[in-house]
Amino acid sequence: MRASVEGFASHAHHAGLTLAGGTMLGTMLAIAADGRNSTLRRAVGIEVTSWSYDQTAIAVSFAHSQPHHDISSEYHKPAGPFTTVPLPGQRSSLVWMETPARAGELMALDDRALAGEIQALSHGELGLVSDIGPRQSFPMAGARAQSFARDRVMLIGETAHVVPPIGAQGLNMSFRDAADAVALAAAARAAGEDVASAKVLSDYDRRRKLDVRPRQAVIDLMNRSLLSGFLPLEAGRAAGLAALASFGPLRRFAMSAGLGRAARS
């Protein structure tokens, strides 16, 4: 069944969802993955802290003549990251951060001109760029839920946190949200306990805050360093990236940490 959720009610031993059209569903635990404007999050009264950046994100896909070898590339430009992500075949998607004024200019270009801009900024590493897909733009913002679980609801993905597209950390954190939700619910079920008990929800909230909050702080600092124009901060970021590129053990540690492989209690 595919339908939007219009209502939610939590009870002592179960929860009920009302779908568009009036259909009612019962569940022990609801996983809210309905985005930054989540109906489920609002229904259980979880507040969100949000902030904005002087950036606009452009999202688009394109074809290219050279293979991507399943490699995602992230270029740090003065207005923010320019990140290509491999798609099936010889296509990639792109999230391109720009100033609002420049983003407006890029959105007004025809497909051929935009392809030329993408080819130049990706340093020709994907070859000839063509076949531009539908494009979207949206103001860049960050957000974090004040709690990640309440009243038989666990928040995952952009329902729980929104970050700039740096180092694929938004995606990685979302994967870890889902992994923690499944692990805690499965452990409770195996023990014959309520999968959405106060303890399970508290454990989930604690785990996710320990993971998400420091990562958001680092991502926010790195993104703001791109926009600051403050030379010592930019020099420090450049030195850090150079160290990651040149020192294998440090690079492997950073990649492992980014993927969330460090043990979590």
Q: Can you give the three-state secondary structure of 115-160, one letter per residue?
A: HHHHHHHCCCCCCCEECCCCCEEEEEEEEEECCCEECCEEECHHHC
Instruction: Retrieve residue 178's tokens.
Output: 């889902």
What's residue 21's pLDDT?
83
State the fold for domain 53-139: D-Amino Acid Oxidase; Chain A, domain 2 (3.30.9)
What's residue 228's pLDDT?
62
What's residue 229's pLDDT?
58
What's residue 223's pLDDT?
83
Domain boundaries, the chain: 29-38+148-259, 53-139
What's residue 167's pLDDT?
76
What's residue 219's pLDDT?
87
| CA–CA distance, 193 with 200 (Å, rounded to integer) | 10
Residues 6+ apart with CB under 8 A from 81: 74, 75, 95, 97, 164, 165, 166, 223, 226
The number of CA neighbours under 13 Å toward the Cβ of 147 is 16
What's residue 255's pLDDT?
46
- Is 16 in contact with 9 (CB distance < 8 Å)? yes
What's residue 169's pLDDT?
85
Q: What are the mean pLDDT values of the chain's consecutive 10-residue runs (265 residues total)?
A: 83 89 90 93 95 94 97 88 94 95 97 97 95 96 96 97 86 94 97 96 97 91 72 55 50 48 46
212-218 contacts, C-beta under 8 A, 24 or more apart = 212/144, 212/148, 212/160, 212/161, 212/173, 213/144, 215/163, 215/169, 215/173, 216/142, 216/144, 216/161, 216/163
- Selecting from 2.60.120.10, 2.40.110.10, 3.40.50.1820, 3.50.50.60, what CATH number does the domain 29-38+148-259 have? 3.50.50.60
28 burial via Cβ count (<10 Å: 0-12, 13-18, 19+): middle
CA distance to 34, 96, 101, per residue, from 60 (Å): 22, 8, 18
| CA–CA distance, 242 with 76 (Å, rounded to integer) | 13
